[in-house]
Structure 1
Amino acid sequence: MIRPRWQALKPQHGLFSWRRWDQAIAVIAAVNLTWVSIDLTYIPLRNFWLQRNLYPVPSLPLVVPLPWLPDITPWLDPLKGIEPHRDTEAYLKAFTALDRALQQNGPRTAESNDLLQHQVVLTTALMDSNPFISSGQAGALEKFKNRLRARTGLESARDSANLLLSPEHLERSPWSQERQFWSQQILPLVESNYWRSIDENGRPSDLSWRIDTPFQLLFLLDILLRAWRLKQRYPAIRWRDALLRRWIDLPLLLPFARWLRVVPVTERLCGAGLLQLEPLRAVISRGVVALLALELFEVIAVRVVDALQQLIRSPQLPERVRGLCSYQSSDLNDEREVIELLRLWLPLLLTRIGPAMRPQLQAVISHLMQQSLDRNVVPDALRRLPGLQNAESEFSRQLAESMVTSVLDLSKGAGNRIGQRDPVLESLGSEALDRLWEELAHTLEQGPVLSRSQDLLVALLEEIKRSSFRQIRDQGDVDALISELDGLNFNPGRPTPKDQA
């Protein structure tokens, strides 16, 4: 491949240190991508990060606790403008006080009775006001009611709350058991509710740009350094072109559509040698290229055959043939190229290829002459004389040899003269070609030759197109093509002598 003139390479210095820098930036970019993925999914997955419980089947009470995961809500809630909701926060505080009183004094004391009644009032108010709507978790209240109904078997969630928080029920069921129900199934739903502030533009508050900005500044510095390194390697390249070479890094600088950063991060990890995706890329690209190759070949073949058919059907075909004449062309280079090709190939045919075929030419001419003598010259009565056939064969051989020798000698001389530049010969050759095109065009214009030739050629091309595409469809299975490529790539071939050595 020819190198562009501006790519005058200079020796690279400090290549090892720059590779270390690229690897460090690639790791930082991977960290930033991790942060972006957490930031983009934090609001939908806040309940998971808050409780760190995994529900494989949402319709079943199956919980997989993940206590080893860190609780990131205290750090990310302020960035998202998330604060505890007043109603749910008051509900949780009241339950904490109730839990402490029941564990210390039991359900029959005046303090515990008041706290139970207060908790019933808060539960009823929670059902009536539905504070979960502000956080987009209206379904949490439905889960809250359904779990109360399932616990008591009653149809009303309010009646279920009154029963579960009554002193009589707590005397029959120990608070240790009821406390586990409230702590594991009810309170997590209440804790998931929050209140999110609104900025001056009427949109939910989001201060995550404070963490993303340092990464973007670092990526901008790295892009400038890469452009400078490219400028040092190819001095003739312009700064604009050097910066455009890093177009793939644009998502690293955009404050929106940040999920696109997976593309430049993957490219940097692969370029730094920290991630190997070449086998996966090869498998994917091989399937895509095989599929596109078949489709593209069919489209190109159809267009080419259709163009040829339109050209043949054109009533101006004789004029197009006549347009090949030198005096009809405005560009003399085409005619000169034809003359140069003839001047190149005619000497080869006359001086090399023709003499190399001397034995074959002599045999053909000798055979033809002997047949002519047998049919036209020698009478049937003399043909029966002994030795006459041998004489005919020898005479035919000598005559053919002399004729071929004379013709080849003449062709060698003509080839040597054609190989030399001769203005007169070039002019004569140009006139001969012009005459050829003129006679061909004149012949096409006379009689039914043109229309009949057009019909035959178009039918021939149509048949070629149909048969070829039928064969392509029969053999165009992408899976079979990929299997054939695998056989060529992975099957061991016959060892060469160099391999055997």
Structure 2
Amino acid sequence: MSLPRWQSNSTASPGGWGQGWDRFVAVWASLNLIWVAFDITYLPLRTFWLQRNLYPIPSVPLVVPLTVIPDLTPLVDPIKGIEPHRETQAYIEQFRRLDAALLALPAGQRPQAAQVALLNRQVQLTVQMVDSNPFQASGATGTLEKIKNRLRQRADLDSARQASGLLLSPDWIQARGWNSERRFWNDQILPLVATNYWRSIDENGRPTDHFWRIDLLLFQSVFGLDILLRLIRMRRRLPGLSWGDALLRRWSDLPLLLPFWRWLRLMPVLERLQTSGLVNFEPLRAVVSRGVVALLAVELFEVLSLQILDGTQGLIRSRRWPQRLRALRSHQSVASRDERALVELVRIWAPLLLSRVAPRLAPELQGLLGYSLRQSLDRTVVPPPLRQLQPLLQVESGISRQLAGGMVESLLELARSTGNRLGRRDDVQLDLLQRFIDRFWDELAAALESGSALERSQELLCALIDGAKGTYLSQINRAGIEALIQELDQLITAPGQQTAPGQQAAPSQSKPLNRPEPPATPAP
């Protein structure tokens, strides 16, 4: 039983600087894959990277701050062409001025005229934001809905516009105090407003994205050099291979150079990690392939089995059996006398069976024939009253052994001489043997044509195959593929079948016990 692939010897990478280069490229490709995944998910997760807060349950105001993660938005936003939205940015700046003006207001005191003007301005900006929906450009309309819902819940009103006017009214500020109100705005409203952004458009009418420049300079240049080195290494190993054929053999590296569909780089990255020896993905591949086999094995085997059985039934139901048997004759099935394969096969096997195999069966044949003769003598020659005499039985046994030995020796001598004669090449003998075989096919075909044996045989064979369809295939369904997989696991992991990784199993030198060596027989 062979070992699992991940336990056998893996293909070694080129030694020296080649192995170091392969490992460096594997690590560099892994970093590029992480960078590609970050780029693909940056826009959907920009709110997380900006606030660095995790909300485990969306419907519950439970926040897990992740301040250990640095703020990457100032570095990545310019790459993506992201700028602060003017309307929402003006809203935040206006609130900062309002907050600075109301911080000096004592608790329970009504805001002054200047402060009331700032409150009214903030209400106007809130109503304008609700009406114009500046979040639509960034595809974050749901954020505006969150803002409106929180304003309605805070003021216990059905309209977000009326709720903003009530929350920013002088009477509300005087009754509740600004310290508690500013906490609501700073914690629940302004962080949502700050997530809005505006993305510029390039000359092609698409959103600005400079990711390809970093990808080209830092990663794809290294990948191109690595692919070139692999092609050179392949052509040194196979001098007759052209550059085009070598490039086609490395087709799996193409996603590393594509500026689109960058998620396809997962395949060449995994391949480099596997071949460099840094990571072994073979157990994972085995588990995945096992799942696929568990889903498709039974259906695939049923289809193949039905095709084979239906094809066999079609051959059995054919009415051309006699014609096909006659076509086996020498003058129809071969092109010349030298190609009489069946005759040559008989000429080779007949001496082998008669002169070498049959003599070794002499003890068994003598025992079988002696027992048969003794039974015949005991029933026909010796009367029943004399069967109890021991000397007479011994004489009978000796006569049986002598007769059996003489008969077997005569038959074996005849078989040996016949085999020796058949072993010699004789054209007349070959012609006679060929006539016998041709006559056999003719007589068999005639027997099938004249009687009802052909139709009855076809019916019986087709019935057997129909029974196999109904029982064997249904047993496969009932047994299930999981039992087969478990049996395969037991065979692979059986004690004494495993070999340490990196070592090959030594060939067995032991011989089966209690098995005598056959005696040497001279060649005929």
TM-score, normalised on structure 2?
0.83
* Displacement of 1:373: 6.9
Q: Output the amino acid matched with 1:99.
A: D
- Unmatched segments (≥5 aa) in structure 1: 1-11
Match of 2:359 in 1: 355
| Larger deviation, residues 120-129 vs 171-180 | 171-180
Closer, same or farther: CA 14–350 of 1 in aligned 2, 3 Å: closer
Contact 2:330 2:340 in 1 (8 A): no
Determine the C-alpha separation between the residues in 2 that align with 1:333 and 1:193: 92
Q: Does 1:122 align with 2:125?
A: yes
Aligned alpha-carbon RMSD (Å): 3.3
Determine the C-alpha separation between the residues in 2 that align with 1:83 and 1:189: 16
Other structure's SS at 1:135 match? coil
From 483, 487, 495, give the equivalent of 1:484: 487
Matches within 5 A, 1:378-393: none
Contact 2:370 2:401 in 1 (8 A): yes
Structure possessing the higher relative contact order (Cα contacts under 8 Å, 6 or more residues apart): 2
| Larger deviation, residues 403-412 vs 484-493 | 484-493
Contact 1:224 1:243 in 2 (8 A): no
Determine the C-alpha separation between the residues in 1 that align with 2:252 and 2:158: 59
Match of 1:462 in 2: 466
Determine the C-alpha separation between the residues in 2 that align with 1:333 and 1:287: 56
Q: Does 1:155 align with 2:166?
A: no
Q: Output the amino acid matched with 1:128.
A: D
Contact 2:50 2:73 in 1 (8 A): yes
Determine the C-alpha separation between the residues in 2 that align with 1:118 and 1:495: 80
| Larger deviation, residues 118-127 vs 408-417 | 408-417
* Displacement of 1:385: 13
Closer, same or farther: CA 57–334 of 1 in aligned 2, 3 Å: farther
Alpha-carbon displacement from aligned partner over 1:143-169 (angstroms, at most 9, x marks no partner): 111111111212222222122212232
Q: Does 1:142 align with 2:137?
A: no
Determine the C-alpha separation between the residues in 2 that align with 1:235 and 1:438: 58
Determine the C-alpha separation between the residues in 1 that align with 2:291 and 2:187: 50
Q: Does 1:342 align with 2:346?
A: yes
Q: Output the amino acid matched with 1:166.
A: S
Other structure's SS at 2:439 match? helix
* Displacement of 1:471: 3.3
| Larger deviation, residues 99-108 vs 386-395 | 386-395
Closer, same or farther: CA 247–426 of 1 in aligned 2, 3 Å: farther
Match of 1:61 in 2: 61
Alpha-carbon displacement from aligned partner over 1:237-258 (angstroms, at most 9, x marks no partner): 3333322222222221222221
Determine the C-alpha separation between the residues in 1 that align with 2:396 and 2:81: 115
Other structure's SS at 1:83 match? strand
Closer, same or farther: CA 382–179 of 1 in aligned 2, 3 Å: closer
Match of 2:89 in 1: 89
Determine the C-alpha separation between the residues in 2 that align with 1:483 and 1:366: 52
Alpha-carbon displacement from aligned partner over 1:116-143 (angstroms, at most 9, x marks no partner): 1111111111111111112111121211
Q: Output the amino acid matched with 1:175.
A: W
Q: Output the amino acid matched with 1:83.
A: E
From 182, 194, 217, give the equivalent of 1:179: 182
* Displacement of 1:293: 4.3
Determine the C-alpha separation between the residues in 2 that align with 1:467 and 1:388: 58
* Displacement of 1:313: 0.6
Match of 1:245 in 2: 249
Match of 2:513 in 1: none
Matches within 5 A, 1:257-268: 257-268=261-272
Q: Does 1:165 align with 2:168?
A: yes
Q: Output the amino acid matched with 2:473.
A: F
Aligned length: 485
Determine the C-alpha separation between the residues in 1 that align with 2:274 and 2:497: 34
Contact 2:378 2:387 in 1 (8 A): no
* Displacement of 1:340: 3.7
Alpha-carbon displacement from aligned partner over 1:169-208 (angstroms, at most 9, x marks no partner): 2223232222221111111121121222333443323222
* Displacement of 1:40: 0.9
Contact 1:370 1:392 in 2 (8 A): yes
Contact 1:335 1:430 in 2 (8 A): no
Closer, same or farther: CA 390–122 of 1 in aligned 2, 3 Å: closer
Contact 2:52 2:69 in 1 (8 A): yes
Contact 1:251 1:257 in 2 (8 A): yes
Contact 2:13 2:19 in 1 (8 A): no
- Unmatched segments (≥5 aa) in structure 2: 1-11, 500-505, 509-524
Contact 1:230 1:242 in 2 (8 A): yes
Matches within 5 A, 1:80-479: 80-104=80-104, 108-214=111-217, 215-289=219-293, 292-329=296-333, 336-366=340-370, 397-474=401-478, 476-479=479-482
Other structure's SS at 2:185 match? helix
